[in-house]
Chains A and B, each alone.
Chain A
Amino acid sequence: MESLYREHILDHYRHPRNQGTLDDADISYQLDNEVCGDVVRLDVRLRDGRVSEARFSGHGCVISTASASMLTEEILGKTVDELKALRDEDVFKMLGITLQPVRARCGLLPLRVLQGGLAHLEETS
């Protein structure tokens, strides 16, 4: 079972990439996981239609934190359409593990935040 906590996941948990917030980001969105109280916020800055900077903040378990950390690296340079095309499977592939339904909610929370932010971006633009 501890195989969930593979070295690359623990590495992202212990040394999270792109942790923090961005002022006047183009996408800024936050969600809670109501089951466990985890909170993830994503701030994304776009330049020439592509992600130029991404930051995450909040608090969560190893899986949601590592997933957020990896996602901020994964989306760099992607277009808005490419972000919209991201699927749950892409997150599982990124994490390199399969998650049971309850833990999948942790792992997918950062993607849900991104999707919420994209929907908001569409509404306001």
Chain B
Amino acid sequence: MALNPDFLRADFPILAREVNGKPLAYLDNAASTQHPRVVIEAVAEFYRAHYANVRRGIYTLSEEATAAYESARDKVAAFVHAPDRRGVVFTRNTTESINLVAYAWGRANVERGDRIVVTEMEHHSNLVPWQLLARQVGAELAFVSVTGDGVLDLESLDRLLEGPVRLVAFTHLSNVLGTLNPAQEIVARAHAAGALALVDAAQSVPRLPVDAGALDCDFLAFSGHKMCGPTGIGVLYGRPQLLEEMPPFLTGGGMIRRVGRTEASWDDLPWKFEAGTPAIAEAVGLGAAVDYLSAVGMDVLWAHEQALTAYALERLAEVPGVCVIGPPQPPPQAGGRLSQPSSHAGERSSVPPPHAGGRGGVIAFIVESIHPHDLAQVLDGEGVAIRAGLHCAQPLHERLGLMATARASVYLYNTRQEIDRLVEGIRTAQRLFLGG
């Protein structure tokens, strides 16, 4: 069953607007995605009719708000096939989820001389927290290398795993290269070496079926705003036993069981890690986003993205002077096994495993002799929104010898016509800056 973006687009009010007199072609979905009406309405309706603080009030509104908040947790848990809802912690975003692990788990478990392994393709959010931890406790930070094709060199992982490794933290799908890493394989190797595994799933959970149970990872982090949900709500899935053993991250109201004058004890999971009034309406909005994506079907969404990515790579290859960074092709199986009709949440066995070794619809590229900023500016004049710069991945750009890149990233509502407009806009920029 193929996804028809023309039909879906009507669900997203913002896609009807114009930018600089042209229809909006929004191709910055790796940064943040747009919102379907059902999500906007769910947040508005929650504020209109059910809002109160959660988990403390002995009155109808607070009970309704609590039920809505906790129901959102259940939806998120089912969406990523989390084996235990107690492990689903609401945070602000992926960055906060990773910081939670770096502070609460890291400070209690990583010691001088230990090794933390990341990769050369990490977003700063899965790098800087580990830099700080390593510096603070005297641990070593080591990097799995990236090949010229933009994939991980797993042999370098094996070499790094021979030391005293405590954690392997890696991105599931690169926010620059689009590379889909073999997460299950990496987790298994980390575990075999006695290390824990953290998966930065900020780009993968929005784009393909992700099964936290099948991945067998210890931590999985992602954000609501990259999957049709509101800003200010993110998720950390952690293995409940680990979360039980960890000290809390932020402390104060909401996360305590009993507070004395000089000491306190912590609430049960997951609330132990949700200090202060949480982002209640945003969680409700994320629940609505998960419902929306599930109704579309993540396998259908992924197949659409694979097909559109293949089309974009083909079209970009036609333009002289354009060079795409990252793996050249989506996996050959795209459109086959992964495009089966959507399964019902909960039937874990029916979720196809994400195909590793391919790429998602995050496409970084450079245009010869045109700075990405200037390209993005000209494209904006054509109503086409892309990202330009380092995409919060400066070490990766340095590794690949790139000053900066342009990045187009697609999502379920993008069309081939929008890719055509991207290509046309690149040609317009070439005429403007290079003449001819």
Residues of A that sit less than 8 Å from B by CB: 1-2, 4-5, 10, 13, 34-38, 59-63, 103, 106
A106/B432 in contact, CB under 8 A: no
Category for how many chain B residues contact A: 10 to 19
| Residues of chain A with a CB closer than 8 A to B381's CB | 1-2
Q: SS class of chain A's interface: helix, strand, loop or mixed?
A: mixed
B432/A37 in contact, CB under 8 A: no
- Alpha-carbon gap, A2 to B433, bound state (A): 11
1/0 contact string of B386-408 vs chain A (CB within 8 Å): 00111000100100001110000
A1/B373 in contact, CB under 8 A: no
Partner of A62, one of B20, B374, B388: B374
Please judge, given known A-B contacts A4-B377, A59-B403, A63-B373, whether A10 and B433 are in contact too, CB under 8 Å: yes
Specify the chain A residue showing the minimal Cβ separation from B373.
Answer: A61
Specify the chain A residue showing the minimal Cβ separation from B379.
Answer: A1
B380 within 8 A of A: yes
Specify the chain B residue showing the minimal Cβ separation from A59.
Answer: B403
B378/A36 in contact, CB under 8 A: no
- Alpha-carbon gap, A72 to B130, bound state (A): 42
A96 vs chain B, min Cβ distance (A): 16
A37/B433 in contact, CB under 8 A: no
Residues of B that sit less than 8 Å from A by CB: 20, 371-374, 377-378, 380-381, 388-390, 394, 397, 402-404, 432-433
Specify the chain A residue showing the minimal Cβ separation from B378.
Answer: A2
A3 vs chain B, min Cβ distance (A): 9
- Alpha-carbon gap, A36 to B392, bound state (A): 10
B20/A1 in contact, CB under 8 A: yes
A104 vs chain B, min Cβ distance (A): 12
- Alpha-carbon gap, A103 to B376, bound state (A): 11
| Residues of chain B with a CB closer than 8 A to A106's CB | 373
* Sample of 7 A–B contacts (CB below 8 Å): A2-B377, A36-B373, A37-B390, A37-B394, A61-B373, A62-B433, A103-B377
Please judge, given known A-B contacts A61-B371, A61-B373, A103-B373, whether A37 and B403 are in contact too, CB under 8 Å: yes
- Alpha-carbon gap, A36 to B373, bound state (A): 8
